[in-house]
Every structure is written in C-alpha cells, then in structure tokens.
Amino acid sequence: MVKQIKTVGNFQVDKEGLKKIGKSFLVSVAGLVIAILLQLTDVINFGDYQSLMLVFLPWLANTLKVWILKYESK
C-alpha cells in the first residue's frame, strides 16, 4: 500500500498541522515552566540573561523531545 502525501497550500493549516502546532506549544510551555521553577527554587539564577533563557529553554525542550522520542520522517 502506497502512503499518499497531502500537500497543504500557503497560509492554510489542516488538522495535522494544528496538532503539530499544539504539541510544539505544550513543549514550549513545559520548557518555560522548568525555567520558572528553577528560578523560584533558587536552583539557578539567570540574572541579566533571564529574557534570553526564557526563549532558549523552550527551544531546548523541543530539541530534546525530537532527539529522544521516535518520529516519522518523510
């Protein structure tokens, strides 16, 4: 059985795209929560780099998710 690939046009999002956006958002929120918890519990103090870390940690969480978990590449 040949698997068909669906093409979604510019400026359109299908159900699968919405799922990916939602998952990415949840991973970003998890990274943000980790950063906030680390700062609140005085495990680490980001100091002047707090803004940078709030951008970097969700990206790191997303990267780790892709690296650790299985996924299908087309």
At 60, give phi and psi (nearest 5°).
-65, -40
pLDDT of residue 49: 85
What average pLDDT score do residues 54-63 get? 79
The pLDDT mean for the chain works out to 80
Instruction: Provide the angle, in degrees to the nearest 10, between the axes of the packed helices 50-68 and 15-40.
Output: 130
Flag whether pLDDT at 73 surpasses 60: no
Give the global pTM. Answer: 0.64
CA distance 68 to 61: 10
Q: Report the percent of the chain where pLDDT is more than 70.
A: 91
Query: Residue 42 corresponds to which amino acid?
Result: D
Residue-range domain boundaries for the chain: 27-68
**Average confidence (pLDDT) over 28-55:** 83
Question: Quick one: pLDDT at residue 58?
Answer: 79
Distance CA 12, CA 15 (A): 10
